[in-house]
Amino acid sequence: MSKPNGNKTKKTSKRAKPQPATKSEKIIQLLKRRSGATIAELQKATGWQAHSVRGFLSGTLKKRMELNVISEKAEDGERQYRIVEKVDA
């Protein structure tokens, strides 16, 4: 019989936030940041192509989930997307 190699599993800190379980959760988490996220950041987080990310933003987040997703051009010319709270008029 072989002996266990003695490696111990890492214990996580109580302060550590659990990682999002799905790609949808990852995108929502990135978009809720104050600075939002670029298409490139969302692509890197999900492994999706740019057109898939844009489709998800429009179809799933805006239409199905009814989240208020806005886009703004940053000073460097790159578009930033964010989720903001809806303001009742």
**pLDDT at 20 (0 to 100):** 64
Q: What is the pLDDT of residues 53-77, one digit of tens each?
A: 999 999 999 999 999 999 999 888 9
Give the helix/strand (H/E) hosting 82. strand 79-84
Report residue 32's pLDDT band, with 50, 70 and 90 as the boundaries: very high
**pLDDT at 74 (0 to 100):** 85
* Residue located via tokens 């051009």: 73
Can you give the residue ranges of every domain in the chain?
Answer: 23-84
Report residue 4's pLDDT band, with 50, 70 and 90 as the boundaries: low
Exposed/middle/buried for 27, CB within 10 Å: 0-12, 13-18, 19+? Answer: buried
Pick the CATH number of 23-84 from 3.30.300, 3.30.1380, 1.10.10, 1.10.3210: 1.10.10
Supply 21's token pair.
Answer: 């379980």
The residue length of the chain stands at 89
Q: What is the pTM of this model?
A: 0.72
